[in-house]
Structure 1
Amino acid sequence: MASPVKILVLQFASIGDMVLASPVVRCLKQQIHHAEVHICTKRAYLPIVEHNPYIDKRHYAGESPTELIQQLRAERFDLVVDLQNNVLTAFLKAALMVRSYSVRTFRLRQWLYQRWKVNVIPPQHVVDRYFEALAPLGIEDDEMGLDYFIPYKDQVEPDWLPASHQHNYVAYAIGGRHQTARMPVAKMVELCRKINFPIVLLGDKADRVFGDEVARALGNQLIYNACGQFNLNQSASIIQGARVVFSHDTGLMQIAAAFGKRVYSIWGSTMPGFGRFPYRTPYVRLEKLGLSCRPCTVGTNGTCPLKHFRCMNDISFDFVVKELQKKKKNFE
């Protein structure tokens, strides 16, 4: 019996980047004969990788880099696939001393884009960059998009939601890594009025206060603030059941893409040009074009450096959500 080809995939960046790594994991497993695919990431991302059938073993970075290196060395990997390519992954690759393939990050070009508004970043999705790095291995994108696997225990049943939201609703992921990556509450309220359909607000515990403000401002039964009420996989299940998904530039946007949802992606200080727009799914970009300050470096406490926050405050909601119009006609 042939011995397995042991492959280590490195990715520590974010929830969204972990989801974007899923096509690479799948294609490595399916396209390399006898591949044994391991992944090394943060323990916080365990829910994303724990139930992925294409991953044979998981390794999590802890407080001791020495222990992690010892654990990884004991596996005797044949090659390393580095999907982050930063100081940490360079350190791990040097310690393992095996053949490696690393994604191009274009950090200098991103800095030029943010600081001087000179865009020389290739118009390419980051997943396509991943596969470009793997071309010497003969690995090709199978064009099956992103994966996200939800365990049975986290599948949200209809009666976990209010009666008004049990069968037809819109999911709106209101979080954001920085304040400049999410709309102010007043704009969230404006958007929810525009949608005018049962909406489930999604985010973590820190987002709950914003969700409560939105619900109070609207004062009706269309808003269910689920922020902080469900874990990541349960939030993914809610997204899976939604008719359409609205999202700031968050990991939940990538999860929506994994389920093939139509995504209305909302962009402020960040830009789709960085290569993390919804992958292989229909999407609409909601952003304020023509601003000389976009994209920007985030100011103190994650606020707008110029104090006007026009990238979010000036977004127009002059669009029709066709999927909801069809549903409303059915109700008439």
Structure 2
Amino acid sequence: MIRKVLVIRFSSIGDMVLTSPVLRCLKRQWGVELHYLTKSAFRSVMEANPYVDQLHTIDKDVKEIIPALRAARFDLVVDLHRNLRSAKVRRALARPSVAFPKLNLEKWLLVRFGLQRLPGVHIVDRYMSPLRKLGLAYDGAGLDYFIPPGEELDPFSMIEAARKPYIAFAIGAAHGTKRLPAAQLEAVCRGIAQPVLLLGGPGDRETGELVARNAGVHVYNLCGVLSLHQSASVIRQAEVVISHDTGLMHIAAAFRKPIVSVWGNTVPGFGMSPFYPDGMDLNTTMEVLGLSCRPCSKIGYERCPKGHFRCMTEQDVVDIAQKAQFPGLTGPLGS
């Protein structure tokens, strides 16, 4: 009988949020003692998740944590990262284990040769697939994200603005080819009538200042001043979220927010589009179709390898702004 389970996902924010249905289903259906292994830098993503009984973290090498994991004597190890590091953990523990289908070959064929061999299955379904064979069923309830009470934020305590519904715009991303250039960000914000709160990390602070200064008094830069949970709180209270392909996009989906998702070098076909509960689709995808060079990477680059960056510079910024207008929204944005 499976009583104690270790789930492995080392990074990053969005990928970890996408594992949340597995955690919920394991806890609710099997009642297991649930442990989660990740990098120390991403501990906060899971620290408030009520389905996780114990978090284990590493800084550099899995050797740091192997003795403690061995002592736990897990009944099952669920590898949702499937790389050399996670394989090392599985071998060291020598416990029953399962791993999800990563489809690296299929993704490589799409990036390198434009050959579409991916099955059109969302990564949440792929995370669940090895556990379905053991009798675990996906419950249809979408993603989870939990904010510690002390991290909930009143956005209007940080900006000089009247309290009114606003749009959250996640302008950051880990790689430059996933981000709209500043000129396009400004154009989107100028086309929006409602207040716009810009979210991102410290590396996005300068861009956020430029956009807020040039786009209008209704745009407020919160990049680099909020924790992850505080940014999630701003998203939770927003009417609509505009986001690049990044972790905050998946957090927005966890809060069932209407999303305008803006895609650069990556594509929704990789299986990581916003994931909602069964029967709900509040995502509007914005992408430049017909580019033979796209996707150029399954992750991203700091600069466009071709030098033209058409996947972002040719985005229809007017349409993005229009899709984000929220009065009277009843379904997918713009419908």
TM bucket normalised to smaller:
over 0.9
1:4–1:36 Cα contact (<8 Å) kept: no
When the two structures are aligned, how many residues end up with a matched partner? 323
Inter-partner Cα distance in structure 1 for 2:87 and 2:50:
27
- Partner of 2:117, secondary structure, is coil
Inter-partner Cα distance in structure 2 for 1:165 and 1:290:
43
Deviating 4+ runs (over 4 angstroms): 298-301
The amino acid that maps onto 1:291 is L
Shift of 1:318: 2.6
Q: CA 1:77–1:298 in 2, change beyond 3 Å: closer, same or farther?
A: closer
Q: CA 1:44–1:299 in 2, change beyond 3 Å: closer, same or farther?
A: closer
Partner residue in 1 for 2:205: 208
Inter-partner Cα distance in structure 2 for 1:236 and 1:90:
32
2:46–2:52 Cα contact (<8 Å) kept: yes
Inter-partner Cα distance in structure 1 for 2:121 and 2:260:
20
- Partner of 1:134, secondary structure, is helix
- Partner of 1:25, secondary structure, is helix
- Partner of 1:324, secondary structure, is coil
2:192–2:325 Cα contact (<8 Å) kept: no
Inter-partner Cα distance in structure 2 for 1:282 and 1:144:
14
Deviations 1:142-192 (A, max 9, x none): 111111111111111254232426331100000111110001001111111
Is 1:16 paired with 2:14?
A: yes
Partner residue in 2 for 1:243: 239
Partner residue in 2 for 1:89: 86
The amino acid that maps onto 1:287 is E
Partner residue in 2 for 1:80: 77
Shift of 1:129: 0.6
Partner residue in 1 for 2:225: 229
1:62–1:68 Cα contact (<8 Å) kept: no
Larger CA deviation: 316-325 vs 258-267: 316-325
Partner residue in 2 for 1:330: none
The TM-score normalised by the length of structure 1 is 0.93
Q: CA RMSD in A?
A: 1.9
Shift of 1:61: 1.1
Deviations 1:49-78 (A, max 9, x none): 111110011100123432311111010100
Shift of 1:101: 1.1
- Partner of 1:120, secondary structure, is coil
Deviations 1:216-245 (A, max 9, x none): 222x21111000111000000000000000
The amino acid that maps onto 2:285 is R
Higher helix share: 1
Shift of 1:307: 0.5
Larger CA deviation: 258-267 vs 128-137: 128-137
- Partner of 2:22, secondary structure, is helix
Matches within 5 A, 1:94-105: 94-105=91-102
2:260–2:323 Cα contact (<8 Å) kept: no
Inter-partner Cα distance in structure 2 for 1:130 and 1:37:
16
Q: CA 1:142–1:300 in 2, change beyond 3 Å: closer, same or farther?
A: closer
Is 1:324 paired with 2:318?
A: no
Inter-partner Cα distance in structure 2 for 1:306 and 1:93:
40
The amino acid that maps onto 2:38 is T
1:158–1:167 Cα contact (<8 Å) kept: no
Is 1:279 paired with 2:307?
A: no
Identity, % of aligned positions: 45
The TM-score normalised by the length of structure 2 is 0.92
Q: CA 1:312–1:322 in 2, change beyond 3 Å: closer, same or farther?
A: closer
Larger CA deviation: 76-85 vs 316-325: 316-325
Shift of 1:298: 8.6
The amino acid that maps onto 1:259 is F
Partner residue in 2 for 1:291: 291
Inter-partner Cα distance in structure 2 for 1:165 and 1:113:
48
Partner residue in 2 for 1:7: 5
The amino acid that maps onto 2:254 is A
Q: CA 1:176–1:158 in 2, change beyond 3 Å: closer, same or farther?
A: closer
Partner residue in 1 for 2:58: 61
Inter-partner Cα distance in structure 2 for 1:167 and 1:24:
36
Inter-partner Cα distance in structure 1 for 2:214 and 2:261:
23
> Any unmatched runs of 5+ in structure 1?
328-332
1:243–1:323 Cα contact (<8 Å) kept: no
Larger CA deviation: 48-57 vs 165-174: 165-174
Inter-partner Cα distance in structure 1 for 2:35 and 2:327:
45
Is 1:152 paired with 2:149?
A: yes
2:143–2:275 Cα contact (<8 Å) kept: yes
Shift of 1:138: 0.7
Inter-partner Cα distance in structure 1 for 2:299 and 2:307:
9
Is 1:263 paired with 2:265?
A: no
Inter-partner Cα distance in structure 2 for 1:169 and 1:51:
26
